[in-house]
């Protein structure tokens, strides 16, 4: 059975770029907009790459900056300097 990993952000200028980066890096990503927030579901594994976000934002980005915009996540988290990954193992 496929499970979705997901992440939700407050909608703002920075998260627009983050969401764009996620959509490009995660084929199958489903983006749902709700009042003041945006939720992205990806089957099994969702990855946010620092370099992709930096490209969209046009500046350096520390993945820990995600802390400012997060609303919720689902999946096991693995965080390195370069990638923020949410996944289900099964």
Partner 1 sequence: MDMKTSKKLGLKERYTMMTRDLAWDTTYQPMDKVFPQVGYEGIKIHDWDKWEDPFRLTMDAYWKYQAEKERKLYAILDAFNQNNGHLSVTDGRYINVLKLFLGSTPPLELMAARGFSMVGRQMVGAGPRVACQMQAVDEYRHFQTQIHSISNYNKFYNGMDEFAHQQSRMWYLSDGKSFFDDAITAGPFEFMVAIGFAFEYVLTNILFVPFISGAAYNGDMAAMTVGFSAQSDEARHMTLGLECIKFMLEQDPDNLAIVQRWIDKWTWRGTRKLASVGMMMDYMLPKRIMSFKEAWEIYFEQNGAALFTDLARYGVTIPKCFAQTVEEKEHVTHQSWLGFYMKPESTPFHTWIPGPDELDWLSEKYPNTFDKYYRPMYEYLDAQEKAGNRFNNKTQPMNCQVCVNTIKYNEPGDPMEMCFRETVYQGEKFHFCSGHCQEIFEDEPEKYIQTYISSHQALQGNCAPEGVDTHAPDFNPGSHIADYWRLDPRATGDFNGSEDQKNFAAWRDLATKN
For residue 75, state whether it binds partner 1 (rule: CB under 8 A): yes
Structure tokens at 70: 């997060």
Residue of 89, 87, 71 lying closest to 33 (CA atoms): 71
By CB under 8 A, tell whether 13 contacts partner 1. no
Three-state secondary-structure class, residue 19: helix
**Residue 25 near partner 1 by CB under 8 A:** no
* Rounded least distance, CB 68 to partner 1, Å: 6
List the one residue from 18, 37, 55, 60 that touches partner 1 (CB under 8 A): 37
**Site for partner 1 (CB under 8 A): which residue of 20, 23, 73, 85?**
73
Orientation angle between helical segments 13-25 and 50-57, nearest 10 degrees: 130
């Amino acid at each position: 059975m496929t499970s979705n990993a997901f992440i939700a952000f407050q909608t703002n200028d920075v998260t627009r770029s983050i969401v764009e980066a996620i959509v490009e890096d995660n084929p199958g990503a489903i983006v749902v907009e709700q009042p003041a927030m945006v939720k992205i579901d990806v089957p099994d594994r969702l990855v946010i790459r620092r370099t992709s976000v930096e490209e969209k934002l046009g500046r350096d980005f520390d993945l820990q900056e995600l802390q400012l915009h997060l609303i919720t996540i689902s999946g096991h988290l693995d965080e390195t300097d370069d990638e923020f990954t949410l996944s289900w193992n099964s």
